[in-house]
Chain A
């Protein structure tokens, strides 16, 4: 069973890697790029928001910093991969700066505090870099979609891989213990602050890398654009739609989010955000564990599994 799963995952990655060789249409490649970007963002957010239970509304800051550093270095002639790495590291520096003060805040105050921090950065960047980040002509001429596609695919594989390794590690279990009951975790010798900080740093680094990839992909945007709070809300939305605190949830959420949004834009035009909002509210109210828990419930009902124990032990049933 386990081997089968690993083989099918590897197969899926190989198939996805072949897509640009087979598919000619740029629109499909672009859509897949977006899907991979959002999978990376949702999975990275989930490490702090899902596994560790610290709902952040400030991840746009990490995304924006990653994009800012990578873009500035890249258009000054640095090779792209080190530039993206620099973006991730800048996000880590910011995470370390804000980590200690913001983890003095609990629950919803943490959420609002991180939103405020991200807004400070958003406004400041808008003042310091009020212009559009346009590409130099030679880069514009050399622009090709395929390397961007592989970058996004690689990024998604890395981020999901990190999340998968975390879930099965001592560190990840510690994070989940902190989420469930901080005091109890502390009494078992798990340092809550240390685990929260590590989760923040890992999450920020991966989000920063995603920002760098975004900077490599987008031809022109305002420097401020990746800092807008919309990005933080999108990450949270995707993870909640898919299912928090799982590896698969953010992936499902991201695919659902991007595909549904594209579908609605094409079919209902200007009303797409209203419908999207309604769907999100419905998920929060009626599917508290996201799509993944709904799927589990359906599967359990179909296979007539004896409910009591099986359901009670699964972590999703608790929340």
Chain B
């Protein structure tokens, strides 16, 4: 019994790491640009498909092909930004959030149906030589690919934090978040900062997509699910604190899987959503967010 609960919890945490990574991507974009990109889940789906086809056609290992997946997503991100999002940079904040959300819904429809037409509605998964392998600790199984997902997510998070903290460009991004007008006065190219933040978010979606592919599978309609999860986790963790966001993801994954173990029927999603609503209403700044200034 205890082992079964622990096993569930571990799987929940490992899945939660992917929620966290996806959410950090959407939070990065939202935090800096105030673009609410609800097509984030579709970008994640494209990342999964990129990884899938690199494996299928060129026999590239999904972990080794991560840089290629990222490059593919950066291309998509650049096109989307230059074609659509750049037009909404100058709107006042509330308008910007609303309009990017609406454009995002349009994109959801477009990207999902492109995937559907190109690659059919089939569930796509891959089997590598190490797919089923796992190590056992105290009677709990840890599949290698899922642990690798957690580790890669943590590496991405750490790299992002160091980038924002230590590099000149990272400081420029943080300055823009504080006050974009003042930032542009001291010579920071705000447009470049916006583009860069958008691309970082896109790249993180791509990595998350590849990790979802190796642990589970991908299909064209998966985007909505992941966007919703990312939004929930972003609000859970509190905007502006990526570590908090990531921990929020792990919490959501752990809660869902534990609840799924104890409540009969398929209610795991409901538990996550109820948790989300409660936090949204009673602690709108998120679990780890700073108080409103």
Q: What 0/1 pattern do residues 119 to 143 of A give for CB contact below 8 A with B? A: 1100110110000000000000000
Q: What 0/1 pattern do residues 90 to 124 of B give for CB contact below 8 A with A? A: 00001001110111011111101110110000000
Query: Nearest Cβ distance between residue A91 and chain B, in whole angstroms?
Result: 19
C-alpha gap A117/B108 in the complex (Å): 21
The chain A residue sitting closest to B225, CB to CB, is: A119
**Interchain CB contact under 8 A, B102 and A240:** yes
Taking the complex as formed, is A284 at the interface, i.e. its CB lies under 8 A from any CB of chain B?
Answer: yes
Of the candidates A107, A233, A285, which one forms a contact with B103 in the assembled complex, judged by CB atoms under 8 Å apart? A285
C-alpha gap A111/B231 in the complex (Å): 11
Q: What 0/1 pattern do residues 210 to 253 of B give for CB contact below 8 A with A? A: 00000000000000100010011001000000000000000000
**B-chain residues with CB within 8 Å of residue A119 when the two chains form the complex:** 228, 269, 273
**Interchain CB contact under 8 A, A284 and B273:** no
Taking the complex as formed, is A276 at the interface, i.e. its CB lies under 8 A from any CB of chain B?
Answer: yes
**Interchain CB contact under 8 A, B277 and A113:** yes
Taking the complex as formed, is B185 at the interface, i.e. its CB lies under 8 A from any CB of chain A?
Answer: no
- Chain A, interface size category, equals 35 or more
Which residues 230-285 of A have a CB within 8 angstroms of B? 233, 236-237, 240, 270-271, 273-274, 276-278, 280-281, 284-285
Query: Nearest Cβ distance between residue A235 and chain B, in whole angstroms?
Result: 12
C-alpha gap A203/B87 in the complex (Å): 33
Q: What 0/1 pattern do residues 80 to 114 of A give for CB contact below 8 A with B? A: 00000000000000000000010011011101110
Taking the complex as formed, is B133 at the interface, i.e. its CB lies under 8 A from any CB of chain A?
Answer: no
C-alpha gap A153/B124 in the complex (Å): 45
**Interchain CB contact under 8 A, A109 and B235:** yes
**B-chain residues with CB within 8 Å of residue A274 when the two chains form the complex:** 109-110, 113-114, 117
**Interchain CB contact under 8 A, B224 and A284:** no
**Interchain CB contact under 8 A, A281 and B110:** yes
Taking the complex as formed, is B270 at the interface, i.e. its CB lies under 8 A from any CB of chain A?
Answer: yes
Q: Is the interface of A mostly helix, strand, loop or mixed?
A: helix
Given contacts A112-B235, A115-B228, contact A284 B99 (CB under 8 A): yes
The chain A residue sitting closest to B114, CB to CB, is: A274
Taking the complex as formed, is A55 at the interface, i.e. its CB lies under 8 A from any CB of chain B?
Answer: yes
Of the candidates B97, B101, B110, B224, which one forms a contact with A278 in the assembled complex, judged by CB atoms under 8 Å apart? B110
**B-chain residues with CB within 8 Å of residue A55 when the two chains form the complex:** 98
Taking the complex as formed, is A20 at the interface, i.e. its CB lies under 8 A from any CB of chain B?
Answer: no
**Interchain CB contact under 8 A, A109 and B284:** yes
Which residues 115-158 of B have a CB within 8 angstroms of A? 116-117
Query: Nearest Cβ distance between residue B250 and chain A, in whole angstroms?
Result: 20
**A-chain residues with CB within 8 Å of residue B112 when the two chains form the complex:** 273
Query: Nearest Cβ distance between residue A260 and chain B, in whole angstroms?
Result: 13
Of the candidates A117, A126, A288, which one forms a contact with B277 in the assembled complex, judged by CB atoms under 8 Å apart? A117
Query: Nearest Cβ distance between residue A275 and chain B, in whole angstroms?
Result: 9
Given contacts A116-B277, A281-B84, A281-B110, contact A233 B105 (CB under 8 A): yes
C-alpha gap A71/B87 in the complex (Å): 46
Of the candidates B36, B106, B117, B269, which one forms a contact with A281 in the assembled complex, judged by CB atoms under 8 Å apart? B106
Given contacts A112-B231, A278-B110, contact A105 B281 (CB under 8 A): yes
Which residues 260-287 of B have a CB within 8 angstroms of A? 265-267, 269-270, 273-274, 276-277, 280-281, 284
Of the candidates B98, B113, B117, B232, which one forms a contact with A116 in the assembled complex, judged by CB atoms under 8 Å apart? B232
Which residues 69-101 of B have a CB within 8 angstroms of A? 84, 87-88, 94, 97-99, 101
**Interchain CB contact under 8 A, B224 and A229:** yes
**Interchain CB contact under 8 A, B270 and A120:** yes
Q: What 0/1 pattern do residues 270 to 312 of A give for CB contact below 8 A with B? A: 1101101110110011001000000000000000000000000
Closest CB pairs A-B (n = 6): A277-B109, A281-B106, A277-B110, A280-B106, A273-B113, A284-B102
- Taking A108-B36, A116-B273, A284-B99 as known contacts, 18 extra A-B pairs with beta carbons closer than 8 A to each other, sorted by chain A number, are A101-B277, A105-B284, A111-B101, A113-B277, A113-B281, A120-B273, A120-B274, A120-B277, A126-B266, A233-B105, A236-B102, A236-B105, A270-B117, A273-B112, A277-B109, A278-B106, A285-B88, A288-B99
Q: Which residues does B use to contact A, with CB under 8 Å?
A: 36, 84, 87-88, 94, 97-99, 101-103, 105-110, 112-114, 116-117, 224, 228, 231-232, 235, 265-267, 269-270, 273-274, 276-277, 280-281, 284
24 contacts between A and B (CB under 8 A): A108-B36, A108-B97, A108-B98, A109-B235, A116-B277, A117-B273, A120-B273, A120-B277, A123-B270, A123-B273, A124-B267, A124-B270, A127-B266, A127-B267, A233-B105, A236-B105, A270-B113, A271-B113, A274-B117, A277-B106, A280-B102, A280-B106, A280-B109, A288-B99
